[in-house]
Structure 1
Amino acid sequence: MPTHLGQTDIQQWIRKISESKLSVPEYFSNKKVPFSQAQYYRYKKRIDQEGTESLEDQRRKGNNRRITAEVEGYLKGYVSGKPESSLAEIKGVVKERFHIELSEAGISRCLKRLGCSRKDKPRQEKVERTYTVCGGFELISALACHMGWPQFVSAIIKKRTQQIKRSKLWEKNNPEAKKLGRNKKGQFTSKYNQRLEVREKRFESIENKREGKNFRSMSISAASPLVIARKSLAMLALPVVTNNGMIRSVDTPLGDAL
């Protein structure tokens, strides 16, 4: 088969396919056709809309060049004067001056063919910075652990809880005497603040509130020394996490990270 089909050849093939008793898919599967089935429909549509003249080979009339010699000369001068120009800038200049819409890829191929070389604009080197979440507190916590501060605080609290457990106050606070407003673990619930005695003593001093405290309901009384040490270290982080009290909640990205 010739590498290029002429107008007459295409018409003959289209007529053969149209007049055949086989369907179009069957014809293409059984016969050796020099173009695809999709191309057949495109040829047929073009003939119906524009006539058989639309199948004429236009290459003999010469290339339909969008970039003329004038444009090429202008591009050479422009790029030599501004080698740092981007393809987008050159595209805009050509469109404004010659009213030609070119793609950046087309401009790049043209410049390569003309031997014009562009220089990339100097890019500022990005400074890579590494950030450590609250590195200052890590020094404080490391120093505290090195000095044994969490263990020291844990030992004091544990000693005091043992003293309370040996006192009459601990016997008076038996587990069966849990007050209304606490769950099975002794933790406060929403009903706790609704109790009359709690509302009356809400603003009293800690000393007065401590007399009626149910120490058995406090989780710290059953906590291990390691847990108490970790909680002490967490209290040391409160000024950092809360920004010296400016933030009331510790449920922040910084708090989660610490």
Structure 2
Amino acid sequence: MSEEERICEILNTIQNIKESELPVTTYFKQNSVPFTRKQYYRYCRILKKSGEDGLHDKRKDGNYTKLTERIKDYIISTVTENRSISTPQLQGKILNKFDVKISESSLNTFRASVSLTRIPLHKEPKYKLRKSGGGEILTCLAFFTGIIEIYTRTIIERVNEIRQSPLFEQNKNIGEDYPDVRSRGKFTTEYNQLKSVRENRFGSLVSRVAVNL
């Protein structure tokens, strides 16, 4: 598209918007417009201030490249689609498309003037730090040093020693105790059938009778 065609398209579009009975916002929503609503208001200000001549690309003398209206349109369109684009990236895109290099300071100034400054992407941290209790640290150390395995082996060995002791063999035949029953002066059937209980049940009574005789 030539420069004259671009300006003609802008003027025709602005005229259509103004002749429409729709509000500007509604018009942009319902119609395909070659520029944004922000650009529309900016074009209106340029036309009011400088006329059609203000829409032409202009360059200053020397090697300094001015931001032309065409480049401004491209910047607004590009940055609106990607607010996270950096100034060097935008500078490279302009160079590839228009074969001109705009200084980063000029790009930053223009982006700020149209409220399109860069918004960095929010990146999730690779590792999230979480609070940890002392118990978790001790547990990790216990597994790492093997102390849990040592405790387990020691307990098992001690239980086996007790089971093999003479005292354990002596008490093996003693039935299950029922403290709640004994507290009411009663004994279980298993307890009453024990040999030691049957032999000693009346021991004190027999001794007293023998003494009296």
Structure with more relative contact order (C-alpha pairs < 8 Å, separation 6 or more): 1
Larger radius of gyration: 2
Task: Give the structure-1-normalised TM-score.
Answer: 0.27
